[in-house]
Chains A and B, each alone.
Chain A
């Protein structure tokens, strides 16, 4: 009986020891795993931070803003290409005919003429213009809304998509409130980043929308006497 008792207590002790060892070993490993997870979390955080820094330099909005400033300086400089020619730009200046820009064939040595060929005025786009000065329009509006109705691109001549727009004008004078919606046809020129609308009325006033080539949410819209090519009213348009 005594021996059996001793054996029993020994067995119990052994079992307890086994459990303790197992628990101890597990506990040990657990700590190490926690440390490992902590290390992985730290490096993940650092990677995200680094990525954030990289993204800040590559921010497209920033590149666009810098491009707009560059375009302003270019506008101040002498035009580097003859009329009806397009500057390929970049580090490798080259002039090509405006008809070759976005025609589906690379004509610039650096390929710039086929790189920026997405149309900024798509069907359904609306731009609202605020008046800067106005010496010629009939209604002297404070705002003009330009609505792009449809666009068609000729397969054999994609450089100048045809654009159909509506110019919504609401004007107030002392006597009446008038609204007009003038349908107009024209084209978009990728070479000059320009939207040209032929005179919608009989008064010979055409519309030129001039994008700066970088920011396509804003353009300067001039009302132009077709005979003299002189701007007599200006509106600054913003994409709505």
Chain B
């Protein structure tokens, strides 16, 4: 009979009702620990999320561009900066001509040779403040590229046609337009526009894309012969 007793005892031990509850208790308390940790972590993450967000890299690029503009041009007239860490100047006729002239090859860099500023349909607009030529309050001015051509034998320039339009008067919404033609200079990142053939030589436009990207430019409306400045506007592309 002893082994019957033993078996019953074993069975009782195996089906110990407290063992399972003990296990459950341990498991539950561990789970609570983990949940508490998770809550603490989320509280930390919330606090972190309330801090000011990271700065847009675009903004950093613009600030860097403004600082280097203040540091001044290192290159004489008709020369462009090779950029990078070691400054070097080369003639702006050598930029984007398919032949590396900078020691670091930056004159053929796709970023430098970006055609974005000359894309047909690109519009550059800003509020023009007139300092001479027109007696008008500050109004929107728009320069729109209408055509562009790059000669295969002289790729250092992109020849463009454009239209300058500005509002004359806020109330009448009278807009004056001027057809222009000119070129884009990669080395100096300059869009230079003068009056179209056969039109009255009233205005020209010079825009410098010196703010770190292809979407912002420092533009001036000038008198075409003397290049004296009539108005100034900070242009955004759209």
Contacts and interface: CB of A to CB of B under 8 A. Distances in A.
A232 interface: no
Given A36-B34, A43-B37, A72 B71 contact: yes
Interface residues of B, number: 33
A76 B48 contact: no
Contacts of B15: 17-18, 21-22, 25
Contacts of A73: 67
A159 to B, nearest CB: 30
B114 interface: no
Highest count of chain A CB atoms <10 Å: which of B7, B11, B103: B11
Interface string B13-35: 01100011001100100110011
A29 B64 CA distance: 61
Contacts of A57: 54
B88 interface: yes
A138 interface: no
Given A29-B23, A40-B34, A72 B67 contact: yes
Contacts, number: 79
Interface residues of A, number: 35
Nearest to B27: A32
A150 B19 CA distance: 73
B47 to A, nearest CB: 11
Interface in A52-71: 53-54, 56-57, 69
A11 B45 CA distance: 60
Given A32-B27, A69-B67, A17 B11 contact: yes
A236 B88 CA distance: 11
B11 A36 contact: no
Contacts of B85: 218, 236, 238
B48 A54 contact: yes
Interface in B46-83: 48, 54, 63-64, 67, 70-71
Contacts of A54: 48
B41 interface: yes
Contacts of B34: 36, 39-40, 43
B20 A29 contact: yes
Question: Which 8 pairs, one residue from A and one from B, show the smallest C-beta to C-beta distance?
Answer: A18-B11, A18-B14, A22-B14, A21-B15, A130-B86, A236-B86, A32-B27, A39-B34
27 contacts: A7-B4, A15-B7, A15-B11, A17-B11, A22-B15, A25-B20, A25-B23, A29-B24, A32-B23, A32-B24, A33-B27, A36-B30, A36-B31, A39-B31, A46-B41, A47-B41, A53-B48, A56-B54, A57-B54, A69-B67, A72-B71, A76-B70, A76-B71, A130-B103, A132-B86, A218-B85, A236-B87
Given A39-B35, A46-B41, 19 more contacts: A11-B4, A14-B7, A15-B10, A17-B11, A18-B7, A18-B14, A21-B11, A29-B23, A33-B27, A36-B34, A39-B31, A43-B34, A50-B48, A73-B67, A76-B67, A76-B70, A76-B71, A132-B88, A236-B86
